[in-house]
Amino acid sequence: MRTLVLTLLLGVGLASPALAQRLPATVTPEHYTLWFAPDLAAATFEGRATIDVRLEVPARTIVLHAAELTFDRVEVRSGDVAVTAVARPSPETETMTLTLPRELPAGPATIDISYTGVLNDQLRGFYLSRANGRRYAVSQMEATDARRAFPSFDEPAYKATFDISLTVAQGDSAISNGAVLSDTQGPGAGRHTFTFARTPRMSTYLVALLVGDFACRSGESDGTPIRVCATPDKLPLTAFALEAAEFQLAYFNRYFGIPYPFGKLDIIAVPDFSAGAMENAGAITFRERLLLAEPGRASEDVQKSIASVISHELAHQWFGNLVTMQWWNDLWLNEGFATWLASKPLAEWRPDWDVALDDATATQEAVALDALPSVRAIRTNVQTPAEIGEVFDGIAYEKSAAVLRMVEAFVGEEPFRRGVSSYLQRHAYGNAAAEDFWDEVSRVTRQPVDRIMRSYVAQPGVPVIDIETRCRADETVITVTQERFTPSASGTSAASATGGATWTFPVCLAQAGGAPQCHLVSQPRTEITVPGCAAEPFLNAGSSGYYLSAYAADDLRRLAGPALDARPATDRLALLADEWWMARSGRHDLGLFLDVADALADDASVDILQALSGRLGEVAGTLGGGPATPRYQAWLREHFAPALAALGPLRAGEDPDTLLRRAELIGLLGVTAGDGDVRQQARRLALDYLAQPDALPAALAPVVLRTAAIGADDALYERYRARLRTLGTEPETFYQFFNALPWFTSPAQVQATLALALSDEVRSQDASGLIGGLLAQPAARDMTWAFVQARWADISAKLDAFQGLPGVVSALGNFCTTDAARDVTAFFAANPTPVAERALRQALERVEACRTFRTEQAGSAARWLDARAR
């Protein structure tokens, strides 16, 4: 699904009632015939749903899903009998009960419903979108909002085929899951009707409905017609997406050994969209900025992002659409697999992108969430729409993908591919559970995939391993100890709180200059014997394991020495990450992490520099502007200013790697290190960019605009605002300026940005980005929190609940004091927000972890800086 826009997107639907429950298993849908007639001006639609079902038992009542629909007529037919049913809505469970005047026998029946609905402004179901003075009707059904577009059995296990037709105004076109079979005039003057080909069996959440003056660019891949569509003014921005989709579809056909199952492929940019993208079968919808690339200008990061999201959604056509999870508790079978698979075609298409490092970075994002005390397991019991919405998170996506990468590396890429293909073929056009997957892959690979997967899917958290080595004769005995990791910074293990949780996973060890040797561990303590006697090995060689490694201080310093350069960049990244988490947990002094950071300061990989810059920024936050901050900033300038100076002045035609390195150094020095010269340089570049759009490469613009905003006057703020109003057809450039607004932090500027967030100038999908961005700024945080409390009703009314409300709540985790946590807790006790309950718990845990980390490690950083000064 629904790709997360990282910030990472959390939640689905608005605050759905907590009473919503599963349907009784007494009726099974087999086919839907759906007709829709949207009135864009009135923001309403007429509909007719004819559902062929099988009554599993004799029935006097039928319960199906319907929300915000008004039923005009309901007829149920069984054989020669046709009866009119009385429809009784239950808004609290989002269901409709049809009461029949007589009992109908078990067997085939047909439900025929005429109804009306509203094209809502909540970015869910069948809803209204706007662009360029025009209106569009578009859809977002996942997870539980098909019921807002048509009466349905709106659960993933109820797969059926669909015949869909749309009657629209002249001048508008329509897109749905199937290819267009006909476009005929009427019914009625000024309207025409599109009829689409019957779909294969699929779940209701995959239905797509789009109406408007969309314009499309056409291509094909392996005989499948492909179109990339957008509003007419943005059609020139679709070429890159089409090129990516053509390559990726052919790749997945080869990888799975199963031809693309949905006939045609439309990929559509939608002006207003709550998710990042949505894998509707044969009609994938996207946020504009995740699909549209400015020709000749798009940065490598934007190209990579677009290609990655397209790849994710195309992978879903097999994982999620062809084979669908039985219920939302196994959402990872959709999202984890699509996330894992997304990088595969990219690695073949654009090897220069080095997507393996992106995967390694994503794994660390998963660890940050998975380390929290309240984190859920990959498989989580959910029942209500609000509960379902909250599992679209980094556990379903990044953690699940990381575990799959680990298993693939353990059993081998080709055996794993064969197991995946066999699983898909066995369950094609049906549903599956986690056990179906790992049992099949275990059978095909003859490896204990089931044991590994079960241990990670059934319990929360990430394991951390310690090792002890001793030489015995001519061999080394390595004792591996595992327990659950927690970043409490309190020095206490989570193992006691979790009953001594254990995982089954491969530990891959590498001695200096040697190839990795992998050993499966499954007990709290495991002994491994390797030939020869040597120093402690590198503990996650290849960095494919989903676990953290705790090194003894002397071994860490040895590994971070000159030999580190010879290890792959993924291993260097893992060592940096491991030591960061050891400092966060209180296992190690923060000074040890700074030793590793010092060793990697001149690393040749820009990905290492990006990771290092982020962690060093977190260290600055730990210092909290205290007495050690000036010395820390001076150390940063001493280490990294020469690297920026060595790049020289910005030159036309710089290669992507140099641009990314320059961008990271500007951010690290100008933002974290408070380098006034770099800030002034950024301001000059920003002014040049405002005057001449070609003056700054797209890869450099975001960090330049952010850095220039720090401490800037109102004149520059207003110039950013004015530039935004001219960028309707340039999504990348628009968000460069838009995302820089929270970096202006004078009180007047903060208030202006907050007012903008709730104004009609900002789409509801984007408002949380401004509010959350301000909550991330220490200078703006208190003022923004006061605004959030005062305007919570307005915020709740405007923001969608897929990423909007949970995103704002999650951003409260940027606080770092007990008083702030107490204040946040009290506010949400008085203002319950069901779609963000999990986000709230995790935000409060991040506040506490930050407070404890600051208390216990700020002194360590100061001592380390003192030692460096001597």
* Catalytically annotated residues: 313
Please state, in angstroms and rounded to a whole number, the distance separating the CA atoms of residues 321 and 431: 9
Tokens 């893992």 map to which residue? Answer: 574
Please state, in angstroms and rounded to a whole number, the distance separating the CA atoms of residues 219 and 654: 32
Please state, in angstroms and rounded to a whole number, the distance separating the CA atoms of residues 804 and 815: 19
Which contacts qualify for 707-710: CB closer than 8 Å, 24 or more apart? 707/666, 707/667, 707/670, 707/671, 707/678, 707/679, 707/682, 707/743, 708/679, 708/682, 708/683, 708/740, 709/740, 709/741, 709/743, 709/744, 710/670, 710/671, 710/679, 710/743, 710/745
Other CB atoms within 10 A of residue 517 CB: 15
Please state, in angstroms and rounded to a whole number, the distance separating the CA atoms of residues 66 and 145: 9
Helices 590-600 + 569-585 axis angle, to 10: 160
Which contacts qualify for 369-372: CB closer than 8 Å, 24 or more apart? 369/393, 369/394, 369/395, 369/398, 369/399, 369/842, 370/394, 370/395, 370/399, 370/460, 370/461, 370/462, 371/461, 371/462, 371/485, 371/486, 371/487, 371/581, 371/584, 372/487, 372/842, 372/845, 372/846, 372/849
| DSSP 8-state secondary structure symbol assigned to residue 671 | I
Q: What is the largest CA-CA distance in the chain?
A: 95
Structure tokens at 653: 């035609």
In Å, how far are 13, 389, 795, 806 from 799, measured between CA atoms?
Answer: 11, 15, 6, 9
Strands annotated E in 418-562: 430-432, 463-472, 475-484, 505-509, 517-521, 525-531, 548-550
Would you say how long the chain is, in residues? Answer: 870
Please state, in angstroms and rounded to a whole number, the distance separating the CA atoms of residues 497 and 174: 55
Q: For residue 438, which amino acid is it?
A: W
Q: First CA to last CA across the chain, in angstroms? A: 55
Please state, in angstroms and rounded to a whole number, the distance separating the CA atoms of residues 808 and 803: 8
Q: What is the CA radius of gyration of the chain?
A: 28
Instruction: Return the H-helix or E-strand segment holding 183.
Output: strand 180-185
Strand partners, 715: none
| DSSP 8-state secondary structure symbol assigned to residue 792 | H
Neighbour-count burial of 627, counting CB atoms closer than 10 A to its CB (0-12 exposed, 13-18 middle, 19+ buried): exposed
Three-class SS state of 844: helix
Instruction: Write the DSSP assignment of 380-401 as a string of letters.
Output: ----SHHHHHHTSSTIIIIIHH
CB contact at 8 A, 265 and 222: no
In Å, how far are 306, 513, 679 from 719, measured between CA atoms?
Answer: 29, 56, 17
Other CB atoms within 10 A of residue 60 CB: 11
CB contact at 8 A, 505 and 519: no
